[in-house]
Structure 1
Amino acid sequence: MRVLLMLVRESGLRIQRARLQHSGILAEQQQLYAYLRAIMGPEKREQVRVLFLNDQHQLLADDIMGQGTVDHTPVYPREIVARALQLKATLLVLVHNHPSGDPTPSADDVVMTNQICGAAKIMNIHVWDHIIVAGEKLLCMREAGFL
């Protein structure tokens, strides 16, 4: 039964990912948010993902760039920028989860975001947003004024 549930969940995620790749990820924000809640909401450990986009906002890759503990994940701006250059991505959406259920960014979250933005900017790559997923709750750092 557990395997069947895992298959159903994975199938749903693949369908959502395919829709995002086809339509342009930033054009369908509610679809993006549903995908992020589904993929990251249930995680019990912090995880940092980066959505790499081209200039038409199409999803090139959705990569896990760091996994950590319940309240910390090491992330390296150099690795994120290197992957963006490899994919020829021009836009990034940073995403990480807070297993605590509180989407409020920590001081470390803000510092990490600024470091990634600075490194990406040097290479003419724009960080569109940093979204924090906490169960069903989301916080978009751009909308909240952190970016």
Structure 2
Amino acid sequence: MVNDPEIQSDLSSHGSGHRARLRLRILTGQGAGLHDHELVEYLLALAIPRRDTKPLAKQLIEEFGGFSRLLVSDADVLANFPGMGKTSVAALKIVQVAALRLIAEPVRTQPILGSWQALLDYLRADMAHLAHERVRVLHLDSRNRLIRDELVSEGSIDQAAIYTREVIKRALALGSAAIILVHNHPSGDSTPSRQDIAITRDICAAGRTLGISVHDHIIIGRDGHTSFRSKGLI
């Protein structure tokens, strides 16, 4: 039996009955069974309440290549999609922000090396589906707690810059005892390139002379991840 007066009102309306059923499934713990387009449809309905948002939701899923890639897409690109506006884009992006904050909590409050899987989950959620390359450096204190998670550069579909001198200079400024390098491969393949290996070794050598450890370099791809440490590359 439905006790929520809003849902009862919607169920009695021919035009909003479907939306009310989606809401009911979410509120009664059945949200995991919703299709990706139904999740997007309901999010858009919050921003565009007087419109049937199912067609737009399906178009967005198809155009951007799936639910995850839709959520991480650039806000300006989303806003230029026919039928979308700033409020609709914000409805999608707030889900991304909330999800990342939820996943990141153990990473920010516990020693990184003791919550490694949580770190990988956070990085994959943030970077695996990006259409461009992103480089970031995680700065750690002597207890391996996160000092700063910094975006170093963003590039084209297959290239972003990382400079040994700038990485080490920033680590010294923050008083970092150790760092973890992270970047993604938009191709989806997390296999390191020769350039990835060379740059990592340069940063390791520079850090060693100044007492800054490089715990790992992690490459994120849609196929998973590659850890330089586990592969014996550093």
Same fold (TM over 0.5): yes
Residue 60 of structure 1 pairs with residue 136 of structure 2: no
Aligned position for 1:47: 134
How far the C-alpha of 1:4 sits from its partner, in A, is 1.5
Whose helix proportion is higher, 1 or 2? 2
| Unmatched tracts of structure 2, length 5 or more | 1-43, 45-88
How far the C-alpha of 1:6 sits from its partner, in A, is 0.7
Moved more, 113-122 or 92-101: 113-122
Is the radius of gyration larger for structure 1 or structure 2? 2
Matches within 5 A, 1:95-114: 95-114=182-201
Deviations 1:53-105 (A, max 9, x none): 01111111111112212222211111111111111111111000000011110
Moved more, 90-99 or 21-30: 21-30
- Residues 37, 136 of structure 1: 8 Å contact kept: no
Equivalent-residue separation in structure 2 for 1:130 and 1:111 (angstroms):
12
Equivalent-residue separation in structure 1 for 2:101 and 2:146 (angstroms):
13
Equivalent-residue separation in structure 1 for 2:207 and 2:130 (angstroms):
27
Give the length in aligned residue pairs.
147
2:112 alignment partner, SS class: coil
Highest RCO, 1 vs 2 (Cα 8 Å, sep ≥ 6): 1
Equivalent-residue separation in structure 2 for 1:62 and 1:118 (angstroms):
22
* TM-score, length basis structure 1: 0.94
Equivalent-residue separation in structure 2 for 1:33 and 1:39 (angstroms):
10
Q: Tell me the percent identity.
A: 37
Equivalent-residue separation in structure 2 for 1:24 and 1:16 (angstroms):
15
Equivalent-residue separation in structure 1 for 2:145 and 2:99 (angstroms):
19
Aligned position for 1:18: 105
* TM-score, length basis structure 2: 0.60
Matches within 5 A, 1:1-147: 1=44, 2-147=89-234
CA RMSD of aligned residues (A): 1.2
How far the C-alpha of 1:136 sits from its partner, in A, is 4.8
Equivalent-residue separation in structure 2 for 1:136 and 1:10 (angstroms):
23
Q: Which runs of 4+ in 1 moved over 6 A?
A: none
Whose strand proportion is higher, 1 or 2? 1
Moved more, 113-122 or 9-18: 9-18
Equivalent-residue separation in structure 2 for 1:75 and 1:109 (angstroms):
10
